[in-house]
Amino acid sequence: MKRTDTSNPDFYHQVVDCQWGCPAHTDVPEYIRLIAQGRFTDAYMLNRESNVFPGILGRVCDRPCEPACRRGRMDQKPVAICRLKRVAADHRDAIEHLLPVIPERKNGKRIALIGAGCASLAVANDLMPLGYECTVFEALPVPGGLMRSNIPAFRLPVSVLNEEIDYIVDMGVDLRLNHPVESMRALLEEDFDAVFVGSGAPKGKELKLPGREEGAANIHIGITWLESVAFGHVEAIGERVLIIGVGNTAMDCCRSSLRLGARDVKVMARKPRGFFKASDWELEDAEEEQVEIVVNHSPKAFVMEDGRLVGMKFDVMEYDIENGRILEQRAVEEVFFPCDDVVLAIGQENAFPWIERDLGIEFDQWEVPVVDEVTFESTRPGVFFGGDAAFGPKNIIWAVEHGHQAAISIHRHCHERALTERLPVTMNLGSRKMGLHEWSYSNDFDPAARRIMNHVSLQRRFEELTTEVELGFTADQVATEVERCLNCDIQTVFADDLCIECDACLDICPTQCLSIVPNGKEPELVTRLKAPRLEPDQPLFVSDPLVQTARVMVKDENLCVHCGLCAERCPTAAWDMQKSLFHFPRAADHDGSVPCQQRKAG
Amino acid sequence: MTFIAKPRVELPNEPVNAIGLRLRDYEGVGSTLCAGCGHDSITAAIIQAFWELSLRPERVIKLSGIGCSSKTPAYFISGAHGFNSVHGRMPSVATGALAANRDLVCIGVSGDGDSLSIGFGQFGHAVRRNLNMLYIIENNGVYGLTKGQFSASADPGSKAKRGEVNQMQCIDAAETAIALGGAFAARSFSGDREQLVPLIKAGISHPGCAVLDVVSPCVTFNDHEGSTKSYAYTREHYAPAVQTDYIPRAEQITAEYEEGQTLPVTMHDGSTLLLRKVDAEYDPTDRSAVLRYLEAHRSRGEVVTGLLFINEDLPEMHEIAGTRQGALTALPFETLNPGSAALAELQRRMR
C-alpha cells in the first residue's frame, strides 16, 4: 500500500468519529475538554460556531455523533455528547459580547428567508455579520419553526428556544411574523438579491382508511396536533389514545397525550422492534412514562359507533426476517383496540403549494424541489433551499449545516462568483507534548460507564405540560462523563523517517492497534496486523517503508483510545500526539474583504 | 520510562488462550526502562510466548540479578513468583528453587553485565549443571544503569557513545554456553519478534538449561554509529542461520518440509521444534561444526541468530543427581524433616 495521505484533512477528520458524524462538524472533543476545564462559555461558543443552537441541540438533537462515538465500539455506551452540550449551554455566562459584530453599514444585498426555522435562522446567522439585510417571513406568530411547534416544551423549554433565536434575530434580522408567503412569484418580484426557502416539511402524512372522514374530530395529524398543543389551542385529549407510527414524532405525541389527560396511551407499530424510526433514547423515555408500544399491528380501519370514534381495527402481522431485513410479511388475525382519540404520526413531507411551477424552479415526480446537494441552489439561480424543505425531513442539525452551506452560496451568488468554487476544509495539527511525560490533554483512559440522566419524578412530570423532564447532569456526572471522551481529536501523527523499529509503541499500545509488517496490498496487509481489523470502514494508516527494514507501520484507527502511550514510549518522537483542528469555511471566509473569522487554536 | 499506566481497556472479542487468559493477563507492571529499550521488546516477546503456551502464571518462577535487564521480570506475568537476587547470583537462586520444586517453569532474566562479568562463574555452572530453566541474557554491550561503560560483551573496536574504542575482547554468551557443554544455545534480536517468540517457547520446553542470548539495543547509551549493538547495526549484519518453528504437542505438523533443509527435533514434553536452515550447511546438532561456523561468521562481523545448538538428550540437574520425581514441597513434613534422631543416624553413618 502507498503511504496514507494524512495531509488530506479527511483522514484525521474521520478519526474524530463524532465530528465526522456530525453534519455540522461540531468539534466535540474540544468542547468536552473545555467543559472539563469549567470553561462553559467557551464550550458554548465553540458549539455555536458549528451548530448555532447549542442549548436547543443539547436537548433535542438527533445525535448522529453518539452512534458514531468510538467509545460505543469498546463494549460500552457512547459518551453522552448531546447532554454535555446542554451542560455548556446551562452553565455559560452571558455571551452577547462574544457574538459577531454586525456592521452598521450594510452591503446593499437583501435576502429573503422563508420560514423562521432553524435553516433560515442559520443562514441569517452567517450572513448578518457580513452586512446583509435579511428578511424572514414566518406564517406563525412566533419564530422557531418546527423547533417550537413540534417539540414539546417538556423536552425543550420555551426560554431556551427564545434565547437562542433572539441571538440571531437581535442581529437586526427583519422578522415578519404572521406573514405567510403565499406566492413565490410575488416574492421574486420584490427586490431581493436571493431567496432562501427554509419552510420545512410542514405536512403530516395522512392515513386513508375506512372511517377516517367520519371520525375526523378524534383523529389528529401528529405534527399539526403538536403545534396546536404548543400554542395552547388543544388542552385535552381522550383517556385512551392510540398513536399510529413509531418515529420520534410519535414519541412526542404519546408523551404529550399523557400530559393532556390521557391515561392509557399505546403506540401502535406495524413492524417489530429494531425497525422503529424513533431514536432509542426517545423510546426509552416514552416507555419510562408507561407508554405501551404494541408491535406488529398494521392499522386497518377506524371504528365508529353512534357517530363517534370508539377504536381501531388492526391486522396482526407476521414477518420473516433475515439479517435485519423483512423478506415476507402476512396478516394473521384481526384485532380491535378501543380508544377515544387517534394521533397519526407516520411521517411528514414538504409541500410547496405557494411556489408557482412556471418560475424555473423545477420539482421532481414526488413534488420535491430539485436542489443541488452542494450549493443548495434550485434550478432557478438565486433561489436556494435548505433544511427539511430541501431534501425532505431530516433534523435540526442537518438543517443548520444546510444553512451554513446555503449562506456560502448566497454570499457567492451576490458577489457573482461561481457557487461551486468553494473553499476547501483546512486542517491544523499542533503537538500536545508539554514536557518529558506531560501532555496537554487528559489522556488517562477512564473505564467509567455512561452517566444516566436524572429525570423529574413520574409523579411530578405530568402536572404541567412545560415541566422539563431531564434535569441535566450534576457536577459529579459531568466530571465523570467528560473523562469518558477518548480525545479522538488528539491524533497520533507518525514521522516515518524517525522510526528505529524498536517496537516500543507496539508493545505498550493497550488496544494493539499498531503493527510493523511487511508491506503488501491491503487485503493481504490486514491479515498481518496484530489484532484483527474489526471495522473495515475505519481508517487505516500506512506509513512509507521504514528506514531499517523497509517494513511499514500500520495503524488501525478503529479502537485507538488516544492514550498517547505510543508517543510517550517512542524514543525518537516518531509518534507525536497532535490536536487536529479543522476549519470548515463559512460564508465569512469566502469574502476577501472581511477578515477570516477563524477561531483560535484550542 | 513511562509515567502513564497502560490503561486496562475492555476490547470486543479479545482472544483468550487455552486456559482462558488474555494476553494482558501475562503482563506485569509498567516498564520503567528508557523508552525504546530493547529489553521491553523482549518482555513483550516473553508475554506473548507464555500466553501462547497457556502456562499457568502461578507455576512460573521469574528470577533475575541486578541491572536494567534484571528489572524486567517485574514487567511480565504479575501472577508468577519472582526473585530479584544479588548481582550475578540469579543462577544460585534458580538452583535452589528448582531443587526444591522441579515442577516449576523457571525463567531467569539476566544481562551481559550480570552474567558475563560479576556472575560469569554462576552462569558457567548453571549451564554445566544443566539447570532446567530458560536463561535469557539481554545483551546490549554496555552498562546502561551506570551511564554506558563497555560491558564484557562489547565487541572489540566498537565505539562508546562518547567515542572511545573498546580494546578488550568480548565474551560471546552463546558460544561460551556451547563451549561449556550447554545443551541449548540460541541467539536472537529484540527487534525480531517472529524469531524470538518461538525460541522462548523452545527454551521453555527444553529439558535443561536453555541459554538465549538476545541482542537488545540500549537506546540511550548504545544506539549510535560505531556501536555494534545498535538497532541499525544489528539489522545490517543480521544473519539467521536457522529459523525455529515451535509446534506444541497437541498440534500436528502440517507444514511440508524438504529433507536436509528442515530438521525436526522432538522434545521430551511432546512438542516439536522444526529447525529450518537458512544456511544449508549449518547443523545445529554438531557442536564443533557450530563453533567453527560461529567463529567464522563472527570474524566477518555477522550476528548469527537462531537456535544455534541443541542436544535435548543431555541429562539435566535432577536426572544427574537422581532426585525423586515431584516437588519436595509436596512431601509431608515428617518425610522432609525426619527429626533429630534421623539426623544423628545419618551423621553416625558418615563418621
In chain A, the domains with their CATH numbers are 9-97+446-484 (1.10.1060), 102-202+350-414 (3.50.50.60), 207-348 (3.50.50.60), 490-583 (3.30.70.20)
Q: Is residue B346 part of a domain?
A: no
DSSP state of A73: G
Measure the CA–CA gap between B186 and B275, rounded to whole angstroms. Answer: 12
Q: Using alpha carbons only, give the angle B291, B292, B298 rounded to the nearest 5 degrees.
A: 85
Give B252's strand partners: none
pLDDT of residue B7: 86
The residue among A484, A511, A514, A569 with the most chain B CBs within 10 A of its CB, best to mutate, is A569
With a cut of 80, say whether residue A595 has pLDDT above it: no
CA nearest neighbour of A220 among A210, A239, A206: A206
DSSP state of A150: T
Say what the pTM is: 0.89
**Inter-residue contact A563 to A443 (CB < 8 Å):** yes
CA nearest neighbour of A33 among A566, A482, A405: A482
Measure the CA–CA gap between A405 and A374, rounded to whole angstroms. Answer: 7
Count of structural domains within chain B: 1
Nearest CA in chain A to B76: A507
Range(s) of the domain holding residue B251: 23-330
3-state class of A286 per DSSP? helix
With a cut of 90, say whether residue B267 has pLDDT above it: no
Tens-place pLDDT, residues A14-28: 999 999 999 999 999
The number of residues making up chain A comes to 602
Measure the CA–CA gap between A360 and A260, rounded to whole angstroms. Answer: 46
CA dihedral for A30, A35, A38, A43, sign (positive or negative): positive
- Chains A & B: contacts with CB separation below 8 Å: 101
Rounded to whole angstroms, the maximal C-alpha distance in chain B is 69
Tens-place pLDDT, residues A479-489: 999 999 999 99
Pairwise CB contact (< 8 Å): A565 & B44: no
pLDDT of residue A596: 43
| ipTM attached to this prediction | 0.88
Nearest CA in chain A to B47: A507
Measure the CA–CA gap between B11 and B24, rounded to whole angstroms. Answer: 11
**Inter-residue contact A409 to A377 (CB < 8 Å):** yes
Tens-place pLDDT, residues A477-529: 999 999 999 999 999 999 999 999 999 999 999 999 999 999 999 999 999 99
Measure the CA–CA gap between A437 and A569, rounded to whole angstroms. Answer: 10
Q: Using alpha carbons only, give the angle A164, A169, A175 rounded to the nearest 5 degrees.
A: 130
Q: Is residue B347 part of a domain?
A: no
Q: Is residue B321 part of a domain?
A: yes
Q: What Cα–Cα distance (Å) separates residue A10 from each residue in A1, A69, A492, A583, B119?
A: 18, 17, 15, 12, 57
Q: Is residue B150 part of a domain?
A: yes
* CATH at residue B147: 3.40.50.970
Q: Is residue B278 part of a domain?
A: yes
With a cut of 90, say whether residue A111 has pLDDT above it: yes
Mean pLDDT of chain A: 93
Phi, psi of A64 (to 5 degrees): -65, -20
Measure the CA–CA gap between A119 and B102, rounded to whole angstroms. Answer: 78
- Could you tell me where the DSSP H helices lie in A378-427? 388-391, 396-414
The residue among B214, B225, B231, B237 with the most chain A CBs within 10 A of its CB, best to mutate, is B231
**Inter-residue contact A447 to B8 (CB < 8 Å):** yes
- CB-facing half-sphere around the CA of A23: CA atoms within 13 A: 21
What residues have CB less than 8 Å from B9, skipping those under 6 apart? Answer: A74, A445, A447, A510, A511, A559, A561
Distance from CA of B233 to the nearest CA of A (A): 9
CA B16 to chain centre: 25
Q: How do A308-322 and A325-338 pair as beta strands? A: antiparallel
DSSP state of A456: -
pLDDT of residue A592: 47
Least confident range of B133-137, B244-248, B257-261, B346-350: B257-261
Q: How do B184-189 and B303-310 pair as beta strands? A: antiparallel
pLDDT band of residue B253 (cuts 50, 70, 90) is low
Q: Is residue B16 part of a domain?
A: no
The residue among B3, B4, B51 with the most chain A CBs within 10 A of its CB, best to mutate, is B4
What residues have CB less than 8 Å from A71, skipping those under 6 apart? Answer: A77, A78, A79, A484, A485, A486
Pairwise CB contact (< 8 Å): B190 & A503: yes
Distance from CA of A22 to the nearest CA of B (A): 25
A476: left (phi over 0), alpha (psi -120 to 50) or beta: alpha
